[in-house]
C-alpha cells in the first residue's frame, strides 16, 4: 500500500504531479490545501506566513487522512520542515513516502505567476523557501526537479514508487 505526500513550496506543482501519480496508480488524490482551516487561508491570502502553531492542526488533518487510507492515497502538502514530515510519518500509521518537488527560485516564480485562482500570493514564496528544510537523506524521499515536464516527473515518481517495498 502506498501512502504518498507530494511536497514542496508553493508553485512547485504539487497538485498537478500528485493528481498524475494518483491516476497512474489508481489511488485517490487529496489536495492538502482544502484541509487548511479558513483562518490559515485568510492569513496566507493576505501575505502573512503561517506559524508552526497554525500548521499543526492542518498537518494532523492530513495525518488522519493518511491513516484512514487503507488502500493507499496521494496527498499534496508543502511539508516544509522535518518536524512536519516526522509528524506526518507518525500519524500515517505505516510507511510514508515523499516526492519532493525542488526547483530554482526563477522557475518557481514563473510557475506561480502562471496559475490562477489560488489563494497563495507570489510574495509568500520567499517565506516558504526560507522555512524549507530539505528532506535529503530522510527515508523514502524521491527528489524531482520542477524544471522537468510534469509527465516526466510523474513517470519517474511512479517508477521509483514501484521499486519501493511497501507493506500490504
What residue ranges do the domains of the chain occupy? Answer: 3-163
Mean pLDDT value of segment 139-158: 97
> What is the Cα–Cα distance from 87 to 99, expressed in whole angstroms?
17
- The answer to whether residues 108 and 9 touch, using CB atoms and an 8 Å cutoff, is yes
**Domain spanning 3-163, CATH class:** alpha beta
- Output b/e per residue, 105-116; b: 16+ Cβ within 10 A: eebbeebbeeee
**Grid coordinates 520567499 are at which residue?**
126
What's the confidence (pLDDT) of residue 98? 98
- The answer to whether residues 39 and 132 touch, using CB atoms and an 8 Å cutoff, is no
This prediction's pTM: 0.90
Instruction: Kindly report which listed range (1-10, 91-100, 125-134, 154-163) carries the lowest average pLDDT score.
Output: 125-134
Q: Is 117 helix (H, G, I), strand (E, B) or coil?
A: coil
Confidence band, pLDDT 50/70/90 cuts, at residue 122: low
What's the confidence (pLDDT) of residue 168? 44
Cell of 70: 487503507
- The answer to whether residues 27 and 70 touch, using CB atoms and an 8 Å cutoff, is no
Cell of 106: 526563477
> What is the Cα–Cα distance from 62 to 30, expressed in whole angstroms?
9
Percent of the chain with pLDDT over 90: 68
Question: Between these two residues, 70 and 6, which has the higher pLDDT value?
Answer: 6
Counting beta carbons within 10 angstroms of the beta carbon of residue 128, is it exposed (0 to 12), middle (13 to 18) or buried (19 or more)?
buried
Amino acid at each position: 500500500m502506498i501512502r504518498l505526500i507530494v511536497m514542496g513550496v508553493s508553485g512547485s506543482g504539487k497538485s498537478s504531479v500528485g493528481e498524475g501519480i494518483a491516476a497512474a496508480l489508481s489511488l485517490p488524490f487529496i489536495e492538502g490545501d482544502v484541509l487548511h482551516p479558513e483562518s490559515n487561508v485568510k492569513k496566507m491570502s493576505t501575505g502573512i506566513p503561517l506559524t508552526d502553531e497554525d500548521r499543526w492542526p492542518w498537518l494532523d488533518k492530513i495525518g488522519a487522512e493518511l491513516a484512514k487510507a487503507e488502500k493507499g492515497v496521494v496527498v499534496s502538502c508543502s511539508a516544509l520542515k522535518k518536524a512536519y514530515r516526522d509528524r506526518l510519518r507518525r500519524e500515517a500509521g505505516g510507511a510514508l513516502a515523499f516526492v519532493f518537488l525542488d526547483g530554482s527560485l526563477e522557475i518557481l516564480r514563473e510557475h506561480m505567476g502562471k496559475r490562477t485562482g489560488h489563494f497563495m500570493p507570489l510574495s509568500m514564496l520567499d517565506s516558504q523557501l526560507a522555512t524549507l528544510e530539505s528532506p535529503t537523506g530522510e527515508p523514502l524521499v524521491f527528489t524531482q526537479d520542477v524544471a522537468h515536464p510534469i509527465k516526466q516527473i510523474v513517470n519517474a515518481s511512479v517508477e521509483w514508487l514501484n521499486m519501493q517495498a511497501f507493506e500490504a
